[in-house]
Amino acid sequence: MRRAGCRRAEEPSLTGRDARTALCHLIAILFVFLALPAHAGTLGRAGMEKQFPPPLVVGERDDRIPVWPILKQEAGSYEVIAYAFESIDFARIPGFGGTAPNLLIALAPDGTFRDARVTSHHEPVFLEGLGSEPLFAFVEQYVGLSARQPIRVGRPNARAAGAAPATTVDGISMATASTRVINETMLAASLAVAREKLGFGAVNIGLRVEAKPDVEPLGLAELERRGWVKRWQITHAEVDAAFADTGLSDPDPGAPEKPFAELTLAYLNVPTIGRAILGEAAHARLMREIGPGAHAVMVVSSGHWSPLPDEFVLGSVPDRLTIQQGGLTVNARDAAWERRDLAPDLPAGPWSLLKIGDAAGFDPSAPWSLSVKVTRERGQIFPEKVACEIAAEYRLPPELFTREVPDAGPSWTDSWRARGVELGIIAAALALLVPVLARQDVLVARARPFSLFRFGFLAFTLGFVGWTTQAQLSIVTLVGTVRALVHTGDFGFLLYDPPSLVLWGFVLVTLVVWGRGTFCGWLCPFGALQEFVAFLAKPLRIRQVTVPPRLDRALRQVKYVVLAAILLAAALGSPLADTFSEVEPFKTAITLYFIRSWPFVLYAVGLIVLNLFVYKGFCRYLCPLGASLALAGRLRLLDWIPRRPECGSPCQLCKVRCRYGAIEPSGKIDYPECFQCMDCVTIIRDPAQCVPQVLAAKRGKRLVPQPVAAE
């Protein structure tokens, strides 16, 4: 219902409306028809050979999935040292540019990342921003980590400073959300390949198995009887059988039934076993030294064959001993532990205490095996070495362990957890803003406190939302959304930037209630920056340039053209969308604090200076995000700005005072151009400013009717 005294809202000018309607139709048509095929890996054999040059050899591509074995010659034969693949073939997770990054990954047979490189990406913060080098360095951190562990992105420099767990990579300031997308891509693609080629997948990722602390003390003899300390004898006959197909005989033959090697094997983390072998104090020291999550396996040898060659270097990976589990080699190295702590009734031969790192994904509650490598030689002058492995299984009762799969949730939940405080502060600020905007009739009447509140809120928007939280909403998100809509159908990237997502949600709701002004007038950091700079115009005696009305109307349409060009390029999958998006100075002024190459800084500073002469000239004429909000704001339900019958005829005060040119000569509010600054609302509520009220007061009358908002 429209109340008496209200002025009927006039239709917008046909020219502007037609242009916007045509734009909406164009975008809708593009959304429907422009479904381009998704991208796939681009490196063929030649590309892989370039990435893995000799002495490495690129094997035959797997006939089911695009994975290339990378081989290296070891002891006369070629061994697979890694499986190379492109992430885009296995995980297309759109980044903030709307397209998925592509990584070249080489995964070793034990699940360790042997190589990781970025082959392509469209992350806006790195393109023409931070540059790609920080991203390349970020990805290199994965080399040496294991895909068996849930790798998380931590704070910048935490890992480098030794303040983060081994399964954490350092994030990048100003690019937290993008690095999480890269991390997700890296893990998702690697696990897909691991499932196919390495026999492990997501099921056991992050599984933490620990020995129970409270177990009965047992002597060494009882431990051996139970098989918890394993005595393993390898006879000459077994070694000969292993070499049967090679035609090589033992150069130093013993009686077949005589022992070739006698090994004692024990998993020391279980306190009953570890304390029986090392004693309580030494066992506690060992557990402290290897650290939480790591495992210690003892191998002691007696007999004439030694598992450790003479040239063995303490602390290195023993060539003759291999631990395997589930068909995979477990990364184990000598822990350089001194012999003096061993139980006296253990054999006196050479020994090694192997440490298995937390990242190896080793499960001591499941069976595993120890292989010993025995070598024989063929030929005299340049003898060829032939190696055979002989393995024995070791298993402990599962009751000795606790098993826990941490429920960490998908990786985007990290972002929400890590940014909880920022989200809380933003939510509190929004909760404060809503009643202020909703009860403007009461609050705006107090002009001075209200302008102080507005000043403080804009400072919060610029300082906290923009420069601290990096939650400047941007056309880049719309570009990513359009690309996801047309090409990938995956909008998951939005979840990696929680503060922006919360703000987007708030803006979408307030668009329907009040129009684009709630964001542009209160929550846009670059808008706030312009507003603060505009305060300088008066003390600097800078006179505002009055743009002639016709030119002003024409210039206002420019932002819609810019928006159309950007969205069209995004829908077509063109990289021009990223280039056109640079019309926004947000990345320069807010995300990168003006630390960027000079053309960008010059452009951003130029717009801010322009704002001193033409108030918010960028917002009114160029901003594609503002244009998109203005279009969406046409769904607005409320004409919330109060009007009097005198507004526009004869009174023009609000029109003259509106610095955004959002009031037409008729007094009608052009809501798509309104920034909800409340200046006109303050005037209409103020008996000392509102001209009809001033005149009525002079005549000694009370003015009726009261100002009301049109529906």
Applying CB under 6 A, the residues found at the interface with ligand SF4 are 517, 520, 524, 526-527, 618-619, 623, 625-626, 641, 658, 660, 662-663, 669, 674-681
Nearer to ligand SF4, 353 or 684 (CB): 684
Rounded least distance, CB 599 to ligand SF4, Å: 20
Question: Could you tell me if 494 and 508 are in contact, meaning their C-beta atoms sit under 8 angstroms apart?
Answer: no
Nearer to ligand SF4, 52 or 660 (CB): 660
Nearer to ligand SF4, 164 or 444 (CB): 444
Nearer to ligand SF4, 577 or 653 (CB): 653
Nearer to ligand SF4, 318 or 525 (CB): 525
Nearer to ligand SF4, 572 or 614 (CB): 614
Rounded least distance, CB 157 to ligand SF4, Å: 32
Nearer to ligand SF4, 349 or 527 (CB): 527
Rounded least distance, CB 451 to ligand SF4, Å: 12
Question: Residue 252 region, left (φ>0) first, then alpha (ψ -120 to 50), else beta?
Answer: beta
Q: What is the DSSP letter of 8?
A: P
Quick check: helix, strand or coil at residue 277? Answer: helix
Rounded least distance, CB 479 to ligand SF4, Å: 15
Nearer to ligand SF4, 282 or 677 (CB): 677
Q: Give the H/E segment covering residue 613.
A: helix 598-613
Rounded least distance, CB 333 to ligand SF4, Å: 55
Rounded least distance, CB 7 to ligand SF4, Å: 14
Nearer to ligand SF4, 30 or 663 (CB): 663
Rounded least distance, CB 619 to ligand SF4, Å: 3
Quick check: helix, strand or coil at residue 34? Answer: coil
- Main-chain dihedrals φ then ψ at residue 621, nearest 5 degrees: -115, -25
User: What residue has token string 């005037």?
Assistant: 683
Q: What is the DSSP letter of 711?
A: -
Question: Could you tell me if 7 and 647 are in contact, meaning their C-beta atoms sit under 8 angstroms apart?
Answer: yes
DSSP string, 295-356: EEEEEEEESS--SS-TTPPTTS--TTEEEEETTEEE-EEE----GGGS-TTS--S-EEEEEE
Q: How far apart are the C-alpha atoms of 695 and 692, rounded to whole Å?
A: 5
Count of Cβ atoms closer than 10 Å to residue 401 Cβ: 19
Rounded least distance, CB 160 to ligand SF4, Å: 36
Name the nearest CA neighbour of 196 among 66, 105, 94, 74.
Answer: 66
Question: Could you tell me if 646 and 606 are in contact, meaning their C-beta atoms sit under 8 angstroms apart?
Answer: no
Nearer to ligand SF4, 249 or 666 (CB): 666
Q: How far apart are the C-alpha atoms of 94 and 492, rounded to whole Å?
A: 7
Nearer to ligand SF4, 361 or 626 (CB): 626
Rounded least distance, CB 671 to ligand SF4, Å: 8
How many helices (H) and strands (E) the chain has is answered by 25, 20
Q: What is the DSSP pairing of strand 351-356 with strand 332-334? A: antiparallel
Q: How far apart are the C-alpha atoms of 365 and 387, rounded to whole Å?
A: 30
Q: What is the DSSP pairing of strand 401-404 with strand 208-211? A: antiparallel
Rounded least distance, CB 527 to ligand SF4, Å: 3
Residues 6+ apart with CB under 8 A from 392: 230, 232, 263, 265, 369, 370
Name the nearest CA neighbour of 243 among 376, 413, 92.
Answer: 376
Question: Could you tell me if 671 and 521 are in contact, meaning their C-beta atoms sit under 8 angstroms apart?
Answer: no
Read off the amino acid at residue 257: E
Rounded least distance, CB 633 to ligand SF4, Å: 11
Rounded least distance, CB 560 to ligand SF4, Å: 12
Q: What is the DSSP pairing of strand 168-170 with strand 152-154? A: parallel
Residues 6+ apart with CB under 8 A from 325: 362, 363, 366, 367, 368, 369
Widest CA span in the chain: 128
Nearer to ligand SF4, 300 or 641 (CB): 641
Nearer to ligand SF4, 229 or 465 (CB): 465
Name the nearest CA neighbour of 66 among 47, 93, 96, 43.
Answer: 43
Rounded least distance, CB 171 to ligand SF4, Å: 27
